[in-house]
Structure 1
């Protein structure tokens, strides 16, 4: 498994997190029910929801829509950091894991071993 596959999975879950956060404000302000599954698979529907959310009076909803817009159908890692609302809850700084610069076999084997370890340890 390559690091880009793992990174896109994490970014997809972050994108889903923001979509779920948009559901209640969209219902309150516009009376619209947001279908997350349809949003992820229907570009026209997603564009419509994002455009409506960007026109919101709620600053948080506009911020969420901007975040989703930047990451939805383009590069999954945007230049700007996520909004301040997503700052870590603990006082400890979260250190990003170092990713290998090259796709060598040793790096691939290490990543695979780490991934498979969760299946070989623990209760069965």
Structure 2
């Protein structure tokens, strides 16, 4: 998940918190203010964490983890993909030497388009 997806996910949880907060505490959650005013955010989260509604508690815990600090801290990084040995694909070459001519460089670039599968 990229940063934009994490921001979208955080916004999604905040919007989901609006109705339960209004029902249980009579509080109108201003999402824009929540994202920019840390004292307001702490106040709302403290109230939400005292809720009897399990959904609101879940949303509040999620938002609390990701609001201040790394938003993907508990999401493990995907393991690096091992390079599969494929006889049809060339191994990446080192940077071209200074003596390589323009024609050799062009041939290397064009080879990946003509030599690979389409």
TM-score over 0.5 for the pair: yes
What is the count of residue pairs matched by the alignment? 81
1:10 offset after TM fit, Å? 1.1
Instruction: Note the aligned Cα RMSD (angstroms).
Output: 2.5
TM-score where L is the length of structure 1 = 0.59
Q: 1:50 and 1:16 mapped to 2: Cα distance?
A: 14
For structure 2, the residue ranges without an aligned partner over 5 or more in a row are: 82-118
1:38 Cα offset (Å): 0.2
Higher relative contact order (CA 8 A, sep 6+): 1
CA distance, structure 2, for counterparts of residue 23 and residue 37 of structure 1: 12
If you compute each CA radius of gyration, which structure gives the higher value, 1 or 2? 2
TM-score (norm. length: structure 2): 0.62
Go from structure 1 to structure 2 and tell me whether the alpha carbon gap of 1:65 and 1:38 turns closer, same or farther (over 3 Å shift).
same
Q: Which runs of 4+ in 1 moved over 2 A?
A: 97-100
Structure 1: gaps of 5 or more residues: 1-5, 82-96, 101-124
